[in-house]
Amino acid sequence: MPASLPMNRRHGREDRVYNPLRLPCLSCHRIFRNLSGLTKHTNTHHARPHGHTLLPHETAIDKEAHHMNGDLDEGPQGKTPGNAPQMLREGRLYHLVHPVLNGRPCDSNGKFLEDPKSQPPPRTESTANDWTPFTSRLQFETADFVFQHARMSQGNINHLLELWAASLIPYGALPPFASVQHLLETMDSIPFGDAPWTSFKARYTGDLPLNPPPWMTAEYEFAHRDPLVCVRNMLANPDFSDEFDIAPYREYDPSLKRRYTNLLSGDWAWDQADIIAKDPETHGAMFCPLILGSDKTTVSIATGQNEYHPVYLSLGNVWNNVRRAHRNAILVVAFLSIPKTEKRYANDARFQHFRRELFHASLSLILRPLHASMLKPEIMRCPDGHFRRVIYGLGPYIADYMEQIVVTAIVQNWCVTCPTRRQNLQDLCEGFNIRTREYAKALAGVYSRKKLWNDHGIISAVTPFSDEFPRADIHELIAGDLLHQIIKGCFKDHLVDWVFAYILLEHGQTKGHEIWGQIDRRLAAVPTFPGLRPFHQGRDFKQWTGDDSKGLMKIFLPAVVDFIPPDMTRAIQYFMEFCYLVRRSIQTEDTVARITHCLERYHHYRQIFVTTGVRPDGFSSLPLQHSACHYPRHIRQFGAPNGLCSSITESKHIKAVKEPWRRSNKYKPLAQMLTTNQRTDKLAAARADFTERGMLQGTCLSEALQGFLSLALGEAELQDSEDGAESEDQQGDGNTVDDGDEDGAVEGPRVLGDVSLARQPERTYPRTLPELGLHCGVPNLPFLVSSFLYDQTHPEPLPDGSATPPCPPVQSVKVYHSAAATFYAPSDISGIGGMRRERIRATPSWFKGPARYDCVFAENDSTVEGFRGLHAARVRTFLSFKSGGVEYPCALIQWFSPVADEPDELTGLWVVEPDFDQDNRPFYGVIHLDSILRLAHLIPVFGNAILPPDFHQSESLDAFKTYYVNKYADHHAHEIAF
């Protein structure tokens, strides 16, 4: 290295030199340039939570034999679950694993192991430094970076390699790849995750008329991979080892009530196992249901061939949260052809029939390699490393309604799940009367095709693809679609539009549009909340996404309640309750009962739309409204519906279709897209293999630096150099977090709640309590702190009428503008363990704009469920101080109190008002940070208020007298603020 650094002549300062030192986080593998950055990150993301830690979620793979009755207190004569009110040990779950198809480990020849708990054989004979087909870690990480993360064009990759080579010329070294072609050839030779693409063509084979339309003579190309190879690759993925069920199971809570979570916890998987178990050759096997999904997507708004029809495949054994997180648990296995024709032939019955037949015939052909393994188990290595005898079966099918009618060969505007007649779809569907293959065949033997179409909604001329596979009935397998059926369909396209239609009918065009404007201003005036889409211009924008519809759902009811009849409000309230209940990640018998009750109440109150003239003909023409009736059955059959939602496949479109299309040259792009998908899967499989062998610890640079220092210094000196102590300014408090962190999913142990102050205090505030109180407009702050310290240091409260002791000496007063709440919220966007973090703000200026003082839920009585056990409060500042040698992290808050002992009857939301003292000054208090659970979202009770056009959302929490506690802010709020 030169003795002196070059100077920048223009500015007279030293040119910066790259510092090779990198420090990896051993928990998440993020890299930091210095020790203080690593310490700060560790304290923020991996500090040991001081909140109440939840018991780990047990699954069917946690234990083998003990799941039958290991946690159950035996009743009389040792009998287990009956009608007696038996209880499990507190906090424990009871798993009843299927007694026959229980996924017993075996060797590579299929012989069951004598000791199921024995260690699995190694996956590979490769050593820990075998990077085949790459020559080194540098080669692999370079390929992974430029192809997966940066998604560089081939020209840019070549340019980067040239620059890299130029920098290495003085050292006689070369870059990791000779050219982009060398890089691509190396990726193509990765032996992991290979599932080659192939294609076939199909055409119309019926009799041709004299002048056939173009669609009859055209050829239609289908691209696909062998689904059996794809399934084997996913099964061998070690990344799923801790989030994978090996057998159908029934899960019970401590009071022996059924719980439904992942697919194998439902009745369908158990029933399938019972059927399979009739063959003795399958005993001890692992049932692996295959989830399919299909959906058309558009890659560009430009004209031309820009529409694709991908088919996706996932393993039903993988947990819902993994599938929702897209950790290679869902793969694209086919691109179906989309027959098109001239406009004059588009509605031709023969063309429509050809499209249906082409869909089912191609899907049947693509899935045919799975058929044999649906009857006889094959020996496969599973994510935990063990071999098992695996038998496959078609599982739930994910699709929106327009795709469902194609998949099931049902006439549009009929229900795809049950045989309810189209004119009766408005009736509340009860029981488990569903369509079946046998039912359709029986009708086909009696009625004509025309009568089946008109009177039963069955397209008997088409045979569903599922009929060719064992134990598969497509009507039974159609999953509920939360995104399109419930959120976009029933809520946004129906209820929202109906409300605005009512306003126009009731008030006329002029007055009605004025009310529309007020509703838009109310939506824009809702206070900021993490994950809430801002509606700065109300709901009047052209293109709605699923996230837009979800955002409107969170705040819609308080905005419209003052403009619609009470029964209309009740209808929306009960539908909202239904929607939030079915979207929970953990379903129980109690939630299913509540879902059924909400459906009954919603059907009762939605009649207001008929009587007011909004829906004079009722709801019989709306199959999406009817589909809500089937969700109790969906839950019992398939577990929590959010693990089978079309939002999973829609978001997969980005990685599998849209991004590969953008990387293509747009000329016949499909072949290029297929190659991109194959290389992406191979890189992901290689990373999983290298990670399992412990080859990706730290970073590529830190590993190279470690090896260089080992040679240069020797092991003894290197050890000494790594043992240096942290400087004082680098040491961190494990109870602080970085103020710049965003809200969202986090990894870590499950805790009910943990709140930590920002990493750095603010330096512009007074350092004594009296001065700080005057600065904040709370002159009695010392008195509040004195009361707080007495409560903290005495087990019993002060007797009534007793004077609060003087405030003891307080030192090191610090003020913070934020804190972070970490809590268990598996139904929201969260880490794999279900943990979520959000930022609580108390700042006089947010992003150089108005002040932001957030509201929180504070604990009141932990023995009482719902909002009755909580307080609502608004944080005015976060502070910490020391007293008696103890540091206290606190919050200065303004209290809110409920205006009634029950939630509001119309909206179902609690209503609170800010507390004031006898002099009409805000009533403040100081509480420990541990008393705070998380953010609360308060929305004004607008009443008759007319909001001016320039009203800003930052004023909302100061401008109104009462507020709704918004339990629809997210799913966790719905679970705690009822």
Mind listing the pLDDT tens digit for each residue in 305-336?
689 999 999 999 999 989 987 778 999 999 99
Query: Which helix (H) or strand (E) covers residue 248, if one does?
Result: none
Residue pair 908/826 in contact (Cβ under 8 Å)? The answer is no
Q: Distance (Å, rounded) from C-alpha 694 to C-alpha 26?
A: 12
pTM of the model: 0.87
Distance separating the N- and C-terminal Cα atoms of the chain: 66
Residues 6+ apart with CB under 8 A from 604: none
Average pLDDT (624-635) is 95
pLDDT of 2: 42
Average pLDDT (770-790) is 94
pLDDT band at 829 (very low <50, low <70, confident <90, very high): confident
pLDDT band at 116 (very low <50, low <70, confident <90, very high): confident
Q: Is 15 helix (H, G, I), strand (E, B) or coil?
A: coil
Strand duo 7-8 + 13-14: pairing? antiparallel
* Cis, peptide link before residue 133, omega less than 30° from 0: yes
pLDDT band at 6 (very low <50, low <70, confident <90, very high): very low
Residue pair 105/113 in contact (Cβ under 8 Å)? The answer is yes
pLDDT of 542: 61
Query: Which helix (H) or strand (E) covers residue 588, if one does?
Result: strand 587-588
Q: Distance (Å, rounded) from C-alpha 186 to C-alpha 179?
A: 11
pLDDT of 413: 95
Residues 6+ apart with CB under 8 A from 215: 204, 339, 340, 341, 345, 351, 354
Is the pLDDT at 45 greater than 70? The verdict is no
Average pLDDT (785-802) is 86
Is the pLDDT at 401 greater than 50? The verdict is yes
Mind listing the pLDDT tens digit for each residue in 932-975?
999 999 999 999 999 999 999 999 999 999 999 999 999 999 99
Is the pLDDT at 395 greater than 60? The verdict is yes
pLDDT of 55: 37
The token pair at 654 is 């980005």
What DSSP assignment string belongs to 837-866?
A: EEEEEEES-STTSS-EE-EEEEES-TTS-G
472-486, 547-561, 573-587, 743-757: segment of lowest average pLDDT: 743-757
Q: Distance (Å, rounded) from C-alpha 864 to C-alpha 882?
A: 32
What residue has token string 């000496």?
809
pLDDT of 547: 83
pLDDT of 57: 37
Cβ of 337: how many Cβ atoms within 10 Å? 21
pLDDT of 710: 66
Q: Is 251 helix (H, G, I), strand (E, B) or coil?
A: strand
Strand duo 736-737 + 754-758: pairing? parallel
DSSP state of 779: T
Average pLDDT (269-281) is 97
* Domain parsing of the chain, residue ranges: 7-46+700-721, 137-190, 485-643, 740-976
pLDDT of 712: 61
Residue pair 504/514 in contact (Cβ under 8 Å)? The answer is no
Mind listing the pLDDT tens digit for each residue in 526-548?
999 998 888 877 766 566 777 88
pLDDT band at 746 (very low <50, low <70, confident <90, very high): low
Mind listing the pLDDT tens digit for each residue in 177-218?
999 999 999 999 999 889 999 999 999 999 999 999 999 999
Which has more confidence, 234 or 697? 234
Residue pair 165/173 in contact (Cβ under 8 Å)? The answer is no
476-485, 694-703, 813-822, 954-963: segment of lowest average pLDDT: 694-703
Q: Distance (Å, rounded) from C-alpha 761 to C-alpha 395?
A: 54
What DSSP assignment string belongs to 500-548?
A: HHHHHHHHHHHHHHHHHHHHHHHHHHSPP-TTPPP-TTTT--S---HHH
Is the pLDDT at 1 greater than 70? The verdict is no
Report the DSSP beta bridge partners of residue 781. none
pLDDT of 875: 98
For a pLDDT cut of 90, what percent of the chain falls above it?
Answer: 68
The token pair at 948 is 């001016």
For a pLDDT cut of 70, what percent of the chain falls above it?
Answer: 84
Which has more confidence, 312 or 723? 312
Average pLDDT taken over every residue of the chain: 86
Residue pair 781/842 in contact (Cβ under 8 Å)? The answer is no
pLDDT band at 75 (very low <50, low <70, confident <90, very high): very low
pLDDT band at 10 (very low <50, low <70, confident <90, very high): very low
Average pLDDT (879-887) is 94
Mind listing the pLDDT tens digit for each residue in 237-258?
998 988 999 999 999 998 899 9
Is the pLDDT at 763 greater than 60? The verdict is yes
Which has more confidence, 127 or 73? 127
Closest CA to 764 of 877, 924, 928: 877
pLDDT of 19: 62
What residue has token string 């205006």?
899
Residues 6+ apart with CB under 8 A from 731: 39
488-497, 642-651, 798-807: segment of lowest average pLDDT: 798-807
Q: Distance (Å, rounded) from C-alpha 802 to C-alpha 797?
A: 10
DSSP state of 88: B
Report the largest interatomic distance among the alpha carbons of the chain, rounded to a whole angstrom: 104
DSSP state of 145: I
pLDDT band at 82 (very low <50, low <70, confident <90, very high): very low
**Quick one: CA dihedral 413, 414, 415, 420, positive or negative?**
positive
Closest CA to 632 of 410, 429, 360: 429
Burial grade of 719 (CB within 10 A; 0-12, 13-18, 19 or more):
exposed
Average pLDDT (388-407) is 97
pLDDT of 723: 38
Q: Distance (Å, rounded) from C-alpha 590 to C-alpha 585?
A: 14
pLDDT of 17: 60
The token pair at 141 is 């990480």
Residue pair 886/867 in contact (Cβ under 8 Å)? The answer is no
Residue pair 288/390 in contact (Cβ under 8 Å)? The answer is yes
Residue pair 652/330 in contact (Cβ under 8 Å)? The answer is yes
pLDDT of 964: 98
87-91, 468-472, 615-619, 838-842: segment of lowest average pLDDT: 87-91
